[in-house]
Structure 1
């Protein structure tokens, strides 16, 4: 029964977290989609208006060439014409011949426009249309109004989607032909006053010739260009209005989404996390019993670490006992337990093996949560204090980066990378531990957490992402290269953490020691850059460390004078692997 309860609690908690990820993704990506749609539509509009201006001269040439060809080959223009030599039918025959001339001219102009802008279809319509449709799918208030996606279709229909048959279609050429018919109807043809003229072949040729002579190629081209621009501009204005309406609706929806995400993060998920901790701990207690303490081996801000007898076939074994003083700390501990328990096996992560709640602790007034894990030899703080070779220290740095990269691939941010949270085994290989502040980005509330010396400047603002771990590693790497645990001189002068934080915001960083390798110093500077976007991806950091490690095995560390590193440009290496927002990995898990 306890196992069934544990599974139900874990499933509910997992759904809440996945929902929070989806909501965070929607909040993040929707404004970017709107900006993308506006940018692409503006480029399309400017491109079409430019084409309209540049094509006028070409269209004039096309019209002139077409008129000349028709004048030279009148028989082709009249091909298929149903001759009617009835003297009373001259007016009707004139109109029919006029339609033949206009049709020939219309096809030539339309083909030219289609060829000019048809290439834009693949460049602009596909992604833009899908982007707009994804934005509009949840906006029910758009029904009955012109949508942004329809406005884009109108812009494009004015250019290349020309229907030469339907009189009701949205077409530049149709408007042009209407004006052309009006122009021709105002002409007084020399034969129009006679009702006795026969509609013979000679008369038909003469009609065609006179119609062609009455047309001005430059005026027709100007009409086409003007109408084309008018339609594109009108459709562009319709799009601008539609996208503003869409943006207003979506902003309201995003506000509601953010409120729901806050409820999940602060209320629903922590409550189920506590239930999951209690039911899972009950299962472990029933199956494996209460762990038996041997001796205390460490004490931290949030708990006491003790070695214990083998538990659940884990040897050597240790547990951290934590006594949450209130509900908020209970919820925080429960979330830590969930994230740590669900992380898959990884050689650079200390795996949490189980948990037990000791309700008899403190006489039963304050239950303690015992988090059981494998026991490591020592932490990095002790390792540096007791002395580690340069090669071993570089290997530890690589191990730490591998561990952080793995957490990021799971959608987690550690937020407290420091010497005492890096444990070493008997071979001095490193593993990350203490996930008290570890959390998915979607569940972060902007709280200020971590160890002051290792905290990135943006942590104080409450708006941060996984790059805070890159900053913390930069500070950690300073200690690794320094080979000691004493505070950097630039940090040791401050009386309190407020002074330290203010100085860090102003750009104060650890000093360059005389024995630092230049490549190591450059890497530190890149990692602790003030702007998160300027910090390298860990997929870039790890290869750099491996090169330094390889060189260190054949060369002495050397003494190089530190200098400011060259301007750093973010590489795209391993971008997909290091992209923090891999929420789908949670779904697969």
Structure 2
């Protein structure tokens, strides 16, 4: 027992150290990303492990494992501890209910058993954080100090009346140091206090934050007292959502002759017979425990008293009334695996304790690895999003600058055209405005009150200076009114053209301004551009004397007004005012005014245009520098940060899968490739049958590539056209531990498309496969992924010949592709060799795949068959070589192939357009096969039958039964044609 438990704790600590390393490297990786300056502090905070996650990880990885033993009395607790250690360390005091004299037992202090090279006993006060001993050791004389001991003296574990009244001694814990294999791994055994004022719940509340607990409750009586029921009910509050897991153990009754006064040798013999201690005696010599009432309520626990079992089931909810014995298993509760409480009935089935403790330890490891893996996956998702944002910025920013330049040029040319070619329209505007306002202006002038009206008399002549003053005021009145109205008319015409360009231009400038502010060098350029556009290209709607255009109009009008003659001093009256205003209006020249306005407008437009281009050039230089930095950041994320996190993710989830499902049992070899071997596997993790891809990473880069493949493959949602990756396990024992092997477990299918076509496939089945492949690629694209290695051997077929894509080794999000030249040569699009490509490379590869599907064989196209090496093959593809047309190809199939493998990626069709075209080809094939079937049914003559058979053979059929069978198996019924 002790050896088995020691192995479990060793295994737990080994895995715990592994997880601590992963946690440490994860935290360091995130900090390295922050120090690199590639991401903002806000972005870094998004990928850090939260305080809650760190706290939960600490609770599993950074505290010692403690087997916390509670129970009905000191006897039951000590018996369980004795059985765990396979050694009697503590005194066994018979419970009072087994003896007639019913002696009173002293309360017991809490006890901690921990590892020590030599046997030691001491008293210690718990520190301020927990109830675990190790705070302050008390200088106190114990009975164990006075003589050698095998069993801790009873007086040292009991609390006498004096100790109970002393708060220091009453709260002290007995520390027992043992050189025991069970405790070597840092494991502690803690026994809760018995008969003291400190409740078990209060004791555990202070204990649990500093230990990883395995709760054991020892039962020595056939019923639970009311106080014990309350105590157990309170314990459920420790974890109300998941339920506190407790291992209940019923201990055997001692014989009446047993006493703690017996010599240790006699106690040992009795304990061996009760199987509390290991015994060399045969099973038939073991003394049977005292009989219990045989009435049972569950086949799981046939010897458990009814009342006790029902209390644990119905009243407390720890156990369930299982009609059949159940296996130990995890229960998924809120994304974590929980182990249900169990009852071990006597020491005959005490081996179940090892299995239960293993399940508890493994559930903690699963929880910790899941937390880490969630953090890894969150980081990877953020990295992909950041890379997408960076790629978008790299692509969009130059286009925005070009767009701004283009729109500004259109706006400039359009407004220049207004100023140059629409002078007549402007002159008419001015003339019409003057004619409409003339009468109203004369009336306003006649009724005008001069500013210095008190010194002017309407009936007396005035001097020349006063005449000029009065004339100026009338001029201000007339020209001001004309200026405002003419300005409004011009605004109406200019704004129509301006608004068609300025709105989109301003939005583009706002976007550039945002990018410019991110540069941190000159955050005002974007603002300057917007202000310049507003100032240059709009006549302000609010007509004020501050408007530069209207001010120019004002000054020109004043220049064109003829000076008033003053031979004789006039009489300042309404008639004079009217006459002055009339002469001023008549002296205006619409042609000269129009010409002046347009000239000023053109000059202003040109200056604004030149200023805009200069500012835009300055902005472009700054943004180009920023984009170079962004490309460097994106490269680091793709080549350094993401692969590092992906590898940590692979390790954390592989450990989790190993704990949950174990190492897969490999059967015969199914195939091998450049980097690994594929084996069969009967079942793993509840999936059957499986294929196990075994890979041994050769170097760091290979590790990173494998980790990225694993992450992207496992992150793809389950889809009927994609082979599902079920899990992974890392075999650290491979290569004597120097070169661990990574095992990727996935669904096993019947065969690949290469072998299927080689052995012969009917035409419509091949068409259905092409449609399946197109749907699979389209689904990957919808997830932002590019497969990059579409070929015959990466298409697997199930028993119904339905296709699924596999081997996502080169599959990556478009933004995470670093321009690597990957794939199979004849399936590689020419742009792959340039390092700049997108998801259209999968469309190209599909076109080559469709050639094989339509050809019905796996031989290389002639032009590629002549190539002597891979380099020649690549050069052939780069020069534009494509497979030849075969006689069996229909026009629509050949056109589809050619469009898919077009040299210009922009001319390749979208997969959403490919699917209906494949459906149309399938429909035509079904119709032709139907016609062939009718010919076979209607014509009995040999020549006609031969001709019908020839027609069917063109489509890969040899008998009409094939037509019927195939038509019924098609996923798409083609509108019920068959």
Scaled by the length of structure 2, the TM-score of the pair is 0.55
- Give, in angstroms, the shift of residue 265 of structure 1: 1.1
Partners of 1:262 and 1:550 in 2: CA distance: 47
Partners of 1:91 and 1:459 in 2: CA distance: 84
Provide, for residues 172-210 of structure 1, a one-character-per-residue CA deviation record: whole Å limited to 9, x for no partner.
2221212322443xx33113x65x322211111110121
Equivalent in the alignment of 1:212? 585
Partners of 1:80 and 1:542 in 2: CA distance: 83
Provide, for residues 286-339 of structure 1, a one-character-per-residue CA deviation record: whole Å limited to 9, x for no partner.
011001112211212222111102111111211111111111000000000000
Equivalent in the alignment of 1:152? 533
Partners of 1:200 and 1:142 in 2: CA distance: 62
Partners of 1:486 and 1:232 in 2: CA distance: 68
1:10 aligns with 2:377: yes
Q: 1:125 to 1:53 in 2, by over 3 A?
A: same
What runs of 5+ residues in structure 1 fail to find an aligned partner? 561-589
Q: 1:2 to 1:188 in 2, by over 3 A?
A: closer
Partners of 2:672 and 2:387 in 1: CA distance: 34
- Give, in angstroms, the shift of residue 362 of structure 1: 2.7
RMSD: 2.0
Q: 1:140 to 1:300 in 2, by over 3 A?
A: closer
CA contact (8 A) 1:490 1:509 kept: yes
Partners of 2:923 and 2:470 in 1: CA distance: 92
Moved over 4 A (4+): 70-74, 143-146, 556-560
- Give, in angstroms, the shift of residue 122 of structure 1: 4.0
Q: 1:275 to 1:333 in 2, by over 3 A?
A: same
Question: Which range is displaced more, 276-285 or 22-31?
Answer: 22-31
Equivalent in the alignment of 1:364? 737
CA contact (8 A) 2:442 2:581 kept: no
Partners of 2:884 and 2:807 in 1: CA distance: 28
Partners of 2:447 and 2:768 in 1: CA distance: 87
CA contact (8 A) 1:379 1:420 kept: yes
Q: Which has the larger radius of gyration?
A: 2
1:488 aligns with 2:865: no
1:66 to 433, 442, 450: 433
Partners of 2:540 and 2:838 in 1: CA distance: 46
- Give, in angstroms, the shift of residue 10 of structure 1: 1.9
Q: 1:474 to 1:143 in 2, by over 3 A?
A: closer
- Give, in angstroms, the shift of residue 349 of structure 1: 0.8
Q: 1:59 to 1:331 in 2, by over 3 A?
A: same
Partners of 1:76 and 1:52 in 2: CA distance: 34
Equivalent in the alignment of 2:788? 415
1:54 to 421, 435, 460: 421
Provide, for residues 79-118 of structure 1, a one-character-per-residue CA deviation record: whole Å limited to 9, x for no partner.
7632655346433321222122212322332223222122
Question: Which range is displaced more, 369-378 or 1-10?
Answer: 1-10
Equivalent in the alignment of 1:334? 707
Scaled by the length of structure 1, the TM-score of the pair is 0.90
* Counterparts of residues 123-272 of structure 1 (less than 5 Å): 123-137=500-514, 138=517, 139-143=519-523, 147-157=528-538, 160-167=539-546, 169=547, 171-184=548-561, 187-191=562-566, 194=568, 196-272=569-645
CA contact (8 A) 1:424 1:430 kept: yes
SS of aligned partner of 1:373: strand
SS of aligned partner of 1:554: helix
Equivalent in the alignment of 2:479? 102
Question: Which range is displaced more, 196-205 or 253-262?
Answer: 196-205
Provide, for residues 488-537 of structure 1, a one-character-per-residue CA deviation record: whole Å limited to 9, x for no partner.
11110110121122222222100000010100000100010111111111
More relative contact order, 1 or 2 (CA 8 Å, 6+ apart): 1
Question: Which range is displaced more, 295-304 or 251-260?
Answer: 295-304
Partners of 2:436 and 2:627 in 1: CA distance: 61
Partners of 1:69 and 1:120 in 2: CA distance: 26
Partners of 1:409 and 1:93 in 2: CA distance: 80
Q: 1:312 to 1:176 in 2, by over 3 A?
A: same
Equivalent in the alignment of 2:405? 38
Equivalent in the alignment of 1:574? none
1:352 aligns with 2:725: yes
- Give, in angstroms, the shift of residue 125 of structure 1: 2.4
1:308 aligns with 2:687: no
- Give, in angstroms, the shift of residue 39 of structure 1: 0.8
Partners of 2:794 and 2:648 in 1: CA distance: 27
